[in-house]
Structure 1
Amino acid sequence: MWHLFAVDPVWAIALAAALGLLVGSWLTVVGHRLPRMMEHDWQQQVQAYQQGQQGDSAHHETLTSTSAYTLWRPGWHCPACAAPIRDWRRVPLLGWALSRGRCAVCRGRIGWRYPVTEILTAVLFALCAWRFGPTPIALCAMGFCAALVALSWIDLQTSLLPDVITLPLVWTGLLVNLSGALTPLPLAVLGAAVGYFFLWLLFHMFRLLTGREGMGYGDFKLLAALGAWFGLAALPGLLLVASLAGVAAAVCLRFSGHAQRGQALPFGPYLALAGLVTLFAVAGRAAWF
């Protein structure tokens, strides 16, 4: 593989890990805020529908009250008391460790998911630099990993896989494969289409036989995205890894008392895990584009 950027491999891995810490810190914000922003949008739509013909002014008041909460505003703050997080406490991982995982104001615990997400993202970015070298495909792989980490966080918390992440992931997969970086473009298109249709068909068959919904439409879109990145031939392996991981997790959760028989569990994190496994498994076949 030809390396576009003249960077020593060790430095490339170190820089990628540092970038991963920064991106991981931002992903914790995305994971926490994006579902709440979606809920605000849903409430806004419901209110707008209920207002009906009451006039544009009432709708404007609703829009103003719900649009202030974004990924950027308000600034970082404690999830318990809303106290601002300032200075060195904002440094990824180090700030959490030095404050012993507690808010400086209310002494409430700041969840372990925050440093774990930062560490996980740093490790994944370092692996991308190690496997792909200092190339454009490594940057694309880092973006892919970041999206999967964010989707896993959100799905575990809310059982949602937001379109604002899954749909761009489909298109970026197709763009990455314009020159066959990970798979030929025709196979990427087929992978996206078949991946979506297969889970869509499975969903409707399961609902017809049991009267219950076994998964959500976000899972269809996520598998379509993975198909766009890795192609049609990768779909059986993706589904096998995701299914085995899901079954193993369900057994562990049930025996540990964290899940009950018949309880619905999110499938997105296991699809994400399968995507990461596939990403690094196909690294040897990847080419610069």
Structure 2
Amino acid sequence: MMLLSQGLEASLLGLLGLLIGSFLNVVIYRLPVILEAQWQAECAELQGKTQLDAPAFNLMVPRSRCQKCGHPLSWYENTPLLSYIMLRGQCSHCKTPISLRYPLVEFATGALFFYSGWQWGANASALAWCGFAAAVVALAMIDWDTTLLPDALTLPLLWAGLVAAALNLTHVGLAESLWGAVGGYMSLWLVYWAFKLATGKEGMGFGDFKLFAALGAWFGWQALIPIILMASVIGAVVGIAMKFSSGLREGGYIPFGPFLAGAGLTAMVAGPNAILKTLGL
């Protein structure tokens, strides 16, 4: 009965994760566009220019639609996973292929929510880790697409980690969480300036500092070395593979955020010590 109850709670959280994953696809696409529009408006205001009123565009409106033909999606075309299968991976109106990434984001979020429910049960700790997983998935995909890690996600994730530690939801002491945040930010900040002074180039963005600080807040300062090691190894392997496959973007730049995010999710599922064992340390 206990396993049945545990499985039911985890399954309900998994279903919630599928729905959240569908919303994350909206966030991943729209948030950078919203931020870009805000930056342009601020620049125009500083220059004394008047901008024409644009149609409302935020995370809620307009309705989701095909990016090729503009066909608005009905509710049954927006059902996580099932819609992609029923539509055979293409728009029902113009038959344009739908990126496989949409159902993969939904599935990954659902799986992480299911794991949280299975590991911690239907309680505040599970919900905290579900929130962590959702934010990290969104940040990874946004950074991969745009090389941006928006403060609108990294800073709430950082503060949420500190609050979760204070409420004993992550089994990380508040002092460990605080120093994890400080250590995460300062370590990459020092690397950034050392690299810039040595080469005159910027090796990473400030968003990476904030994301690593957030991971430190969630896992404590002891987890910083395992997380950065795993992120570096994964990043090196992916970078080499993309170089040989000619998949590198212009300038040969690969954002580091997705690998930090991947290492953070690995730490969530397997634990920081398991990362060291995987790397043979």
TM-score, normalising length: structure 2: 0.91
Shift of 1:93: 1.0
Aligned to 2:20: 23
Q: Residues 227 and 272 of structure 2 are in contact (CA less than 8 Å); yes or no, is this contact kept in structure 1?
A: no
- Give the fraction of aligned pairs with identical amino acids, expressed as a percent: 41
Q: Which blocks of at least 5 consecutive residues in structure 2 are unaligned?
A: 274-281
Alignment of 1:227-238 (within 5 A): 227-238=216-227
Shift of 1:149: 0.5
Alignment of 1:155-166 (within 5 A): 155-166=143-154
Counterpart code for 1:263: G
Aligned to 1:287: none
Return the match for 1:138 from 92, 108, 126.
Answer: 126
Counterpart code for 1:136: A
Shift of 1:257: 1.8
DSSP-derived class of the 2:201 partner: coil
Alignment of 1:121-132 (within 5 A): 121-132=109-120
1:48 paired with 2:48, answer no
DSSP-derived class of the 2:58 partner: coil
Shift of 1:15: 0.8
1:147 paired with 2:135, answer yes
DSSP-derived class of the 2:240 partner: helix
Counterpart code for 2:67: P
Shift of 1:281: 3.1
Counterpart code for 1:192: A
Aligned to 2:180: 191
Q: Distance in 2 between matches of 1:261 and 1:115?
A: 28
Aligned to 2:91: 103
Aligned to 2:193: 204
Shift of 1:87: 3.4
Q: Distance in 1 between matches of 2:80 and 2:37?
A: 28
DSSP-derived class of the 1:65 partner: coil
Question: How has the CA–CA distance of structure 1 residues 108 and 13 changed in structure 2, closer, same or farther, with 3 Å as cutoff?
Answer: same
1:11 paired with 2:28, answer no
Counterpart code for 2:188: L
Q: Distance in 1 between matches of 2:243 and 2:225?
A: 27
Q: Which blocks of at least 5 consecutive residues in structure 1 are unaligned?
A: 53-57, 285-289
Shift of 1:134: 2.0
Q: Distance in 2 between matches of 1:81 and 1:201?
A: 47
Q: Larger RCO: Structure 1 or Structure 2 (Cα < 8 Å, ≥ 6 residues apart)?
A: 1
Number of residue pairs matched?
271
Q: Residues 254 and 261 of structure 1 are in contact (CA less than 8 Å); yes or no, is this contact kept in structure 2?
A: no
TM-score, normalising length: structure 1: 0.89
Return the match for 2:229 from 235, 240, 245.
Answer: 240
Q: Distance in 2 between matches of 1:255 and 1:14?
A: 41
